[in-house]
Amino acid sequence: MRLTYAPVIRQMKDYPLIKRLYLSAFPAAERAPLRSLLRAGQRPGNEFVAYYHDHQFVGFSYLVTSGDLAYLMFLAVDDRLRGKGYGSQILEAVAAGRPTARLLLNAEVLDADAPNALTRQRRREFYENNGFVSSGWQVTEFGVDYELMCRPGRVSPDEYRDLTKKYAGWKYFLFHQQFARLGK
pLDDT digits (tens, 9 = 90+) for 90-142: 999 999 999 999 999 999 999 999 888 998 999 999 999 999 999 999 999 88
Cβ neighbours of residue 100 under 8 Å, at least 6 residues apart?
A: 68
Residue 94: predicted pLDDT: 95
Residue 167: predicted pLDDT: 81
CATH 3.90.950.20 fits 4-181, yes or no: no
H and E: helices and strands count for the chain: 5, 8
Residue 129: predicted pLDDT: 96
SS3 73: strand
Mean pLDDT by 10 residues, the chain (184 residues): 92 96 92 91 92 97 94 96 95 94 94 90 95 94 91 91 82 77 79
Q: Beta strand 102-108 with 69-77: parallel, antiparallel or unpaired?
A: parallel
N-term to C-term CA, the chain: 43
- H/E/C letters for each residue in 109-137? CCCCCCCCHHHHHHHHHHHHHCCCEEEEE
CA triple 129-132-137, angle to 5 deg: 135
Least Cα distance to 108 among 52, 9, 27, 6 occurs for: 27
Q: How many angstroms separate the Cα of 106 from the Cα of each of 7, 139, 167?
A: 23, 8, 15
Residue 15: predicted pLDDT: 97
Contact 8, 18 (CB under 8 A): yes
Residue 71: predicted pLDDT: 95
CA–CA dist 103, 172 (Å, integer) = 21
